[in-house]
Amino acid sequence: MKLDDLVRTLPKAELHVHLEGAIPPGTALKLAHKYSQLGLIDDIERMQAAILFRNYEDFRSYYQVCMQLIRSAEDFALVVYESGRDMRNQNIRYREVHISIYQHLHLWEKDLRLQDVFDGLVRGSQKAREDFDVEMQWIFGIPRHRHFSGPNGKFDPTIANTVLEYALQGREHGVIGLGLAGNEVGAPPEPFKVVFQKAKRMGLRSIPHAGETTGANSVRGAMNDLQADRICHGVRSIEDQKLVKELVECQIPLDICPTSNIRLNVYPAMQQHPFRELDELGVHVTINSDDPSILGSSLCDEYAAVAGEFGYTVDDLARFARNSIQASCATAELKTKYLSEISRWQVDHLTDMQQRTNNAS
């Protein structure tokens, strides 16, 4: 079996994917035509032409175009349902999806209410569950760069507290965590400590971005001050070996998005990516796509790229899939179900490989 086909049959979870960056191309164009008065059709077509982003801000500008396309409960339901279809096609059994909730409700004059968002998320995920047998939960993200203003970059927690309140209201609708996203430069994690402490007390998981556009100190701040349960990216923790040891000792998973790190110039090429080194040092790593429709790399593409570049085996692929399930916020029942599916996949493909070896000899 070819590597691409092998990873496509592997049952797995995805823990770091943004709803707005995962809108299938056909769905994005459908929404752009629906809202033709916004004048975004040309932007969407250009975005889908495999643009090479020069820096984080280039990427962010296209991400904002995607956010403008989701303007009603029906739009959320459509995007979530199509995400479920994509999960079925890649055998992604479970996803934890980051959503830029503040931007949806406060930018671009969408006339969108929080309840509209919840209605769309629930409707789309329920239909996806029925049609595709997949599960999704949500992480509401704080836009970190909007909190530092004025000549001295004074921190204002107003938006973070608003996002926390949205997340708390969404717990009955599948919101399981509070995120922290956006460019880390000039927006460190430490000032958000009080907000994340409250989130943890109220039963939400702490799942911030750190160690992507800035270095290891950002990861340390997310661990110590935000009490991170998982860290999105976290790859630049490799720059501090003491920090890596702490990640291993505390068993804090890193949700790594290799192609995203290359496309956004965190590393020049996959050969320089620290994924294998972090894995060999004992860090609990998971593989993710981040923004697949913008970056042009699906979760299966990520598994294939990592396996092809670093020489991972069938056992390793199964191990990474298990990592994704074990690090997730899925129920114990679902975790048991998915881990059993992975074990069956592993046995089937190891048996197939052994038969091929015997036939060849």
Q: Strands of 12-18's sheet, edge to edge? A: 12-18, 92-99, 135-143, 175-181, 205-210, 231-233, 254-256, 285-287
Beta bridge partners of 291: none
CA nearest 276: which of 324, 318, 308?
308
Dist CA 164 CA 257 (whole Å):
25
Dist CA 215 CA 136 (whole Å):
31
Given the structure tokens 């992604």, which residue do they identify?
92
Answer yes or no: are the C-beta atoms of 181 and 143 closer than 8 Å. yes
User: At a CB cut-off of 8 Å and minimum separation 6, what does 325 contact?
Assistant: 12, 13, 93, 94, 335, 338, 339, 342
- Describe the crossing of helices 114-132 and 158-169 by its angle, rounded to 10 degrees: 50
Query: Which amino acid is residue 206, in one-letter code?
Result: S
Indicate the SS3 state at residue 85. helix
User: At a CB cut-off of 8 Å and minimum separation 6, what does 279 contact?
Assistant: 285
Catalytic residue among 212, 239, 246, 302: 212
CA nearest 145: which of 230, 60, 18?
60
**Catalytic site residue 212?**
yes
Query: Which amino acid is residue 301, in one-letter code?
Result: D
Answer yes or no: are the C-beta atoms of 13 and 253 closer than 8 Å. no
- Residues annotated as catalytic (active site), given as ranges: 212
